[in-house]
Chains A and B, each alone.
Chain A
């Protein structure tokens, strides 16, 4: 069965600081990987996704993530965070076939202070 671990429960950063949120997955086959963002009081939105090809994936709002197969990791990064990035971030995985539903990590809450 698939599982996803997000190591940081709550991260607090000052504006302009660099961000890296960890995500590791466990699955015996080829996977698709995703990051979702949930702004306060809102539903989840897809931030970026990796299916295949270039392991460095660029998403919306300046976010990127790098798939490192040997480490089973898909960490999310942003060079300079803004107050508006305050949100909860979820990593998710499913089987490459797409016929299994997503498994989500428990989320990392990011607080950006001015």
Chain B
């Protein structure tokens, strides 16, 4: 079984819809992250959480929200999706070092 599981793997939806991307991990790590990847732009941090009670905005948090339901679960929501949020989204975890070492397989999100 994968250490970091993202669901769904692919999603196509329409502008204005609410979308939730889910991430669960079996590493027992406290720290979890959401990134988006766009061609030529690398990975940009959306939100991160150092423990269940700690949520922090990343570089590009506008238009996104997150929920840390438990140590193992960290969900990303798009309240009202827009086409420029079309991207590949990765969840990652890390130990106390703060170095993401375990990435999920990604969710490819297309917003029409």
Interface residues of A (CB under 8 A from B): 6, 9, 32, 34, 42-46, 49, 90, 94, 98-107
Contact = CB atoms under 8 A, between A and B. Distances in A.
B44 A99 contact: no
Contact of B99 (A46, A103, A105): A46
A107 B43 CA distance: 9
Given A44-B103, A98-B96, 17 more contacts: A32-B99, A43-B103, A43-B104, A43-B105, A44-B90, A90-B42, A90-B43, A94-B98, A101-B58, A102-B45, A102-B99, A103-B59, A104-B43, A105-B42, A106-B40, A107-B40, A107-B42
Q: Interface residues of B toward A: which range? A: 20 to 34
Nearest to B43: A104
A42 B2 CA distance: 13
Interface in B43-68: 43-45, 48, 50, 56, 58-59
Nearest to B6: A43
Contacts of B48: 101
Main secondary structure on A side of the interface with B: loop
11 contacts: A42-B105, A43-B103, A43-B105, A43-B106, A44-B103, A90-B42, A98-B97, A101-B98, A103-B59, A104-B43, A104-B44
